[in-house]
Amino acid sequence: MTGGSRGIGFAIGRALAAEGASVALVARNADHAEEQAAVLRAETGAEVVAVCADTGVDASVTEMARTVRERLGEVDILVNNAATTNPGAFPDSALEEEINVKVRGYLRCVHAFAPKMAERGWGRIINISGLAARHAGSVTGSVRNAAVVALSKNLADELGPQGVNVVSVQPGPTRTRTWLNNLERQASAAGVSRAELEERHGTTVGIGRPVEPHEVAAVVAFLASPLSVAINGDTIAVGGGIKGPIFY
């Protein structure tokens, strides 16, 4: 589970641990990852380890894969979630870094784990994209998330016959601490309360409110299970149902 120490990634790690899976929380901050792993061990009784890695660096991913295998054995489920954002940067300066971590980084992790999944004839690779792939407004957000969808489909076609399903999941605005902090800054700049902005967002979503991290995690836990065998190469939106557009 890359990007596993906070937000949606941590919620996914929690959901998988609750199902009895052994979980590696992979993150760049070793201390925070270990703190979060300890939380999940106490909550679930599952085997949860923290592994420090930067998915934007080849050697770091190689070492991460070695460490995970050493501590947990071979990997059946890979959830790619690590990302970096540069909210104040001009797109040209931010795009390369974001593609390196979120697209090339996902592919690095697939190269590290998928061959053994294919040898064993079973595996799940779940790539966290984002609903920014479906609309304009951020060059980096749209490009990196659309690239994850394309990457996932190509991998699915290649690995599906070998028993390894690959899907992409597109969260929309999700009520993580990072999202709430960003909302707080937007509210301050607009001279309104955070609660008011959150309420406005709810009017654009079919369920009438922002999605919670554990609700995204529940979908990912299903996709990680044998029950999801009929879903391969597809993209699952988990944004609460954006009102208006029809996607088909």
Give a yes or no: residue 2 inside a domain: no
23 and 130 within one domain: yes
124 and 33 within one domain: yes
What is the pLDDT, as a whole number, of residue 158?
A: 98
Which residue range(s) make up the domain with 109? Answer: 7-172+212-238
* Number of domains within the chain: 2
182 and 84 within one domain: no
Separation of alpha carbons 62 and 47, rounded Å = 22
Distances (CA, A) of 46 to 4, 40, 49, 78, 227: 15, 7, 10, 17, 21
DSSP helix/strand/coil, 13: helix
126 and 197 within one domain: no
What is the DSSP-derived secondary structure letter of residue 56? T
| pLDDT per residue as tens digits for the range 112-129 | 999 999 999 999 999 999
| pLDDT per residue as tens digits for the range 57-82 | 999 999 999 999 999 999 999 999 99
> Which pair of tokens denotes residue 33?
């990852």
- For the whole model, what pTM was predicted? 0.94
107 and 84 within one domain: yes
187 and 129 within one domain: no
Separation of alpha carbons 22 and 41, rounded Å = 10
Is the distance from CB of 45 to CB of 89 less than 8 angstroms?
no
CA angle at 66 for the pair 65 and 72, rounded to the nearest 5°: 85
